[in-house]
Amino acid sequence: MTLGTRRHGRGRFGALLGAALATAGMFAAPPATAKTELTMYYPVAVGGPLTKIVDGLVADFMAENPDITVKAIYAGNYNDARIKALAALKAGEPAQLSVMFAIDVFELIEQDAIVPFDDLVGAEGRAWLDSFYPALMANSRALGKTWGIPFQRSTIVMYYNKDAFREAGLDPEKPPQTWDELVAMGKQLTKRNGDQVERWGIMIPSTGYPYWMFQALAIQNGQELMNAEGNETYFDAPATVEALEFWVAMGRDYGIMPEGTIEWGTLRQNFLEGKTAIMWHSTGNLTAVKNNAKFDFGVAMLPANKRRGSPTGGGNFYIFKQTTPEEKQAALRLIRYLTSPEKTAEWSIKTGYIATRPDAYETPALKAYIEEFPYAAVARDQLAFSVAELSTYQTGRVRKALDDAIQAALTGAKTPEAALADAQKLADRVLRRYR
């Protein structure tokens, strides 16, 4: 049983720890019944004490299910979590389940790493699969099956500084609803002192997950970026180019956003220090912003151009193929526990992530929370306008092609049209064999 610790793949320290625990294990009394051990990797991509929250939820589960032991291992950001999970798999010591990027689904299927939930849940479980918001399931379904269960899911929302709105003579209860209003208000909100900008109108992060922010702009301009089969992209469509032109123009032409790229990781700090009046960021940051903002702030849906829209984002639960039937059922029990209405509500309150199912919003805890803090419902309301996040075969490469194009355009190295044409060419090259 103590061998389970080796599964973490933490190298030297993992091995040392394993040895230490093995020694300790010799003196421990053998358990009365066979326990099922589960190892779960999970990523954290936003601020706040998320690891503590996950540990708390898992501890609650083990208290109620004494026959299952769960080791929840924080595995870095989304990329790191996927790398660790797949590396462990290749080494023949896989975790049984993991939270990974919802958009890794095609990659995981191609690696033959995961099992579809349809085969595990039985007849009664099909209703469970249908209990989540359909928009959140869009990235889970592929090849006619369900491969992922929504957990830490988000949309992009617009955080704005109400004090800055008041100072600029704007109504703090009326955030921009359209691109035109965003530009007009952005100009009023940008505060200059000679050549220096003391406060920018808006910041949209363009490192870390640039494709995600860009997808929101593209959808608002009425353009999807890929097909549901994950083997075609529309990076060079005219509406896509227009969307990138608008992003570039916010810095270059309208002067409401800094030129160059904007760092994902430090943007929240910029917003909290009043250096930008508006930021677009994951709703997963909501609780952290709420706890740290020293000014009056608001949260709104993203503005519309041809339509409203944001991609969904975040992580799903996956169950790995190389597990015993008992482990699969134990993993399923853990997932069903963590996605129950009450636990989902608790998770949503503590982080700001969307509660993944409508009935969670009927629980007394979440109802009371939204009563007191209505902004907690913005991301949910925006689900009505949400689409699946960019996800294709060879998703790492395709995503990087788009990320590079966005950054090339924002830094002025290429025109939006040329940059996106290059990205499309590269995406076509790697996706051709999946058509």
Partner 1 sequence: MRASRHLHHVYGWLLLTPAAILLLSFTHYPTVATIWQSFFSTGTALRPSSFVGLDNYRFMLEDEIFWKVVGNNLLFAAGTIPASIALALLMAVWVNGRLPGRALVRMAYFTPTVLPMIAVANIWLFFYTPEIGLLDQILRAFDLPTRNWLGDPDTVLWCIVVLAVWKEAGFFMIFYLAALQALPPELEEAARLEGASRAYYFRRVVFPLLMPTTLFVLVNAVINSFKLVDQLFILTKGGPDNASSLLLYYIYEVAFSFFDDSYAATLTVVLLAALALISLGQFLFLDRRIHYR
- Binding site residues, partner 1, CB under 8 A: 79, 83, 86-87, 107, 110-113, 195-197, 200, 206-208, 258-263, 265-266, 269-270, 273, 275, 394, 396-397, 400, 403-405, 407-408, 410-411, 413-414
CA distance 244 to 220: 12
User: CB of 47: closest distance to partner 1 in angstroms?
Assistant: 13
User: CB of 250: closest distance to partner 1 in angstroms?
Assistant: 14
The nearer residue to partner 1, 66 or 396, going by C-beta atoms, is 396
Are 268 and 289 a contacting pair, CB within 8 Å? yes
User: CB of 215: closest distance to partner 1 in angstroms?
Assistant: 18
The nearer residue to partner 1, 33 or 196, going by C-beta atoms, is 196
The nearer residue to partner 1, 306 or 397, going by C-beta atoms, is 397
User: CB of 55: closest distance to partner 1 in angstroms?
Assistant: 23
User: CB of 70: closest distance to partner 1 in angstroms?
Assistant: 26
The nearer residue to partner 1, 114 or 300, going by C-beta atoms, is 114
The nearer residue to partner 1, 215 or 220, going by C-beta atoms, is 215
The nearer residue to partner 1, 202 or 377, going by C-beta atoms, is 202
User: CB of 264: closest distance to partner 1 in angstroms?
Assistant: 9
The nearer residue to partner 1, 223 or 394, going by C-beta atoms, is 394
The nearer residue to partner 1, 263 or 371, going by C-beta atoms, is 263
On the 0-12 / 13-18 / 19+ scale of CB atoms within 10 A, 6 is middle
3-state SS record for the chain: CHHHHHHHCCCHHHHHHHHHHHHHHHHCCCCCCCCEEEEEEECCCCCCCHHHHHHHHHHHHHHHCCCEEEEEEECCCHHHHHHHHHHHHHCCCCCCEEEEEHHHHHHHHHCCCECCCHHHHHHHHHHHHCCCCHHHHCCCEECCEECCEEEEEEEEEEEEEHHHHHHCCCCCCCCCCEHHHHHHHHHHHCEEECCEEEEEEEECCCCCCHHHHHHHHHHHCCCCCECCCCCCECCCCHHHHHHHHHHHHHHHCCCCCCCCCCCHHHHHHHHHCCCEEEEEEEHHHHHHHHHHCCCCEEEECCCECCCCCEEEEEEEEEEECCCCHHHHHHHHHHHHHHCCHHHHHHHHHHHCCECCCHHHHHCHHHHHHHHHCHHHHHHHHHHHHEECCCCCCCHHHHHHHHHHHHHHHHCCCCCHHHHHHHHHHHHHHHHHHHC
User: CB of 80: closest distance to partner 1 in angstroms?
Assistant: 9
Q: ∠414-418-419 over CA atoms, to 5°?
A: 65
User: CB of 410: closest distance to partner 1 in angstroms?
Assistant: 7
Q: Kindly report the number of other CB atoms within 10 A of residue 180's CB atom.
A: 11
Are 257 and 201 a contacting pair, CB within 8 Å? yes
CA distance 340 to 329: 16
The nearer residue to partner 1, 203 or 355, going by C-beta atoms, is 203
The nearer residue to partner 1, 255 or 258, going by C-beta atoms, is 258
User: CB of 107: closest distance to partner 1 in angstroms?
Assistant: 7
User: CB of 210: closest distance to partner 1 in angstroms?
Assistant: 8
The nearer residue to partner 1, 271 or 369, going by C-beta atoms, is 271
User: CB of 207: closest distance to partner 1 in angstroms?
Assistant: 6
Are 211 and 390 a contacting pair, CB within 8 Å? yes
Question: Which residue bears the tokens 């300790």?
Answer: 24
